[in-house]
Amino acid sequence: MSDSRFFRANGPFSLGHIAGVVGAELAQPERADEMIHDVAELADATSGQLAVFCDARHAQAFADCHASVVVTSRKLSSYPHNGSALLLADDPRLTFARIGKLFYPSPRPKAAIHSRAFVAASATIGVDTEIGAGAVVGENVQVGSRCHIAPNAVIADGVIIGDDTVIGANSSISHALIGAHVRVAENVSIGGEGFGFVPGPKGPMRVFQVGRVIIEDGVEIGGNSAIDRGSLGDTVIGAMTAIDNLVQIGHNVKLGKGCIIAGQAGIAGSTTLGDYVMVGGAASISDHLTIGSGARIAGKSGVMRNVAPGETVAGYPAVPVRQWHKQTAALARLIARACDKD
């Protein structure tokens, strides 16, 4: 259950209303008028709350649960339970996320520019946009409506930000065109110079970086991540892509739509990812590669070759996941034999 000091739930909502909003089936339609006040974890939920059961490993928690209603699938609904109403959905986890948005929608900006913010005279600020203390909005910047520019964020000259976008505290945005409904967390760097150098007689010489960063609609970028601008072309983050904390994306990288990049991953310059690629935590992808749509990169993998669409790779260097499992098993056998000899 959320702490009311930080989060305030909307509602209550009737079971019938919740089912209608998310398109789920209420298995006990006679309980449609029952009121739900909040969402909670399966093991902790009580009367008046809603939980989710989406993994058979949590069957005991489901059996012991005292929630008024549990979101689950038809298959999992056959497990024993404690009399909770059931909301049946094809994808319980996604349905629960949508219900969570019903109770906890994104905060609305306060539609004010703080007296200690600096906004250039040539900047254009949309209606109902909030700009926090210490924020800097440069010359010829365009900020859409209902945006939130948090304290101490820096929006450099010429940047364009679409409607309903959030820029977190202490983030720095330059050389970027940002779409609508984008969420940038705290301490993010977007549009900085990429790591481009050529060897020279007196040491490395920096390569000029005159490209941009294009962030399409619905992208989420976690805290302390960095996205470098292109050197000549653009760095592009496709629509609805989710980037975790502490991610590094190099210059001229192009991500398709709906990608998921987990924390501490790094993608080197001029690599292209197709749509719906998943990159595990701390994985590293070398430069000038092509990762096909639907590919999956396991955590801590080192990718040094192109990856075909739909392929799953793992290991260092990354290989097809079945091959990696075979290598791991073979190595374990070799170590066991060596230990037996000792």
CATH at residue 81: 3.40.1390.10
Of 3-7, 163-167, 173-177, 259-263, the one with minimum mean pLDDT is 3-7
Highest mean pLDDT: which range of 89-98, 106-115, 192-201: 89-98
What is the token pair recorded at 102?
Answer: 């019903």
- Is 86 in the same domain as 179? no
In a domain, 246, yes or no: yes
Domain range for residue 28?
13-103
In a domain, 335, yes or no: no
Reply yes or no on whether 175 is catalytic.
no
Identify the pLDDT of residue 79: 96
Identify the pLDDT of residue 265: 98
In a domain, 58, yes or no: yes
In terms of Cα–Cα distance, which of 257, 255, 213, 207 is closest to 234?
Answer: 213
- Is 94 in the same domain as 198? no
Residue 342: band (very low, low, confident or very high) from pLDDT cuts 50, 70, 90 = low
- Is 89 in the same domain as 181? no
Residue 166: band (very low, low, confident or very high) from pLDDT cuts 50, 70, 90 = very high
User: Beta strand pairing status for 205-206 and 197-198?
Assistant: antiparallel
In a domain, 5, yes or no: no
Q: Which residues contact 226 (CB under 8 A, 6 or more apart)?
A: 188, 189, 190, 192, 247, 248, 249
Torsions phi, psi for 149 (to 5 deg)? -100, 110
| Mean pLDDT within 128-157 | 98
Of 102-106, 213-217, 261-265, the one with minimum mean pLDDT is 102-106
- Is 199 in the same domain as 297? yes
pLDDT, tens digit, 9 for 90 and up, residues 252-306: 999 999 999 999 999 999 999 999 999 999 999 999 999 999 999 999 999 999 9
- Is 185 in the same domain as 314? yes
Identify the pLDDT of residue 1: 65
In a domain, 340, yes or no: no
What is the token pair recorded at 121?
Answer: 């005279």
Highest mean pLDDT: which range of 199-203, 222-226, 322-326: 222-226
Annotated catalytic residue, options 114, 175, 251, 325: 251
| 226 pLDDT above the threshold of 80 | yes
In a domain, 334, yes or no: no
| 333 pLDDT above the threshold of 80 | yes
Positive or negative: CA dihedral 51, 55, 57, 63: positive
Length, in residues, of the chain = 342
Contact 212, 191 (CB under 8 A): yes
Q: What is the C-alpha to C-alpha distance for residues 244 and 247, in angstroms, rounded to an integer?
A: 6
Tokens 């294009």 -> residue = 214
Torsions phi, psi for 245 (to 5 deg)? -70, 155
In a domain, 218, yes or no: yes
Identify the pLDDT of residue 177: 98
Q: What is the CATH number of the domain that holds 282?
A: 2.160.10.10
- Is 74 in the same domain as 186? no
What is the token pair recorded at 67?
Answer: 């929630």
Q: What angle do CA 246, 248, 252 make, to 5 degrees?
A: 155
Tokens 């000091």 -> residue = 5
Of 7-11, 84-88, 246-250, the one with minimum mean pLDDT is 7-11
| Single-letter amino acid, residue 312 | T
**Structural domain total, the chain:** 2
Give the other-Cβ count within 10 Å of 271's Cβ: 21
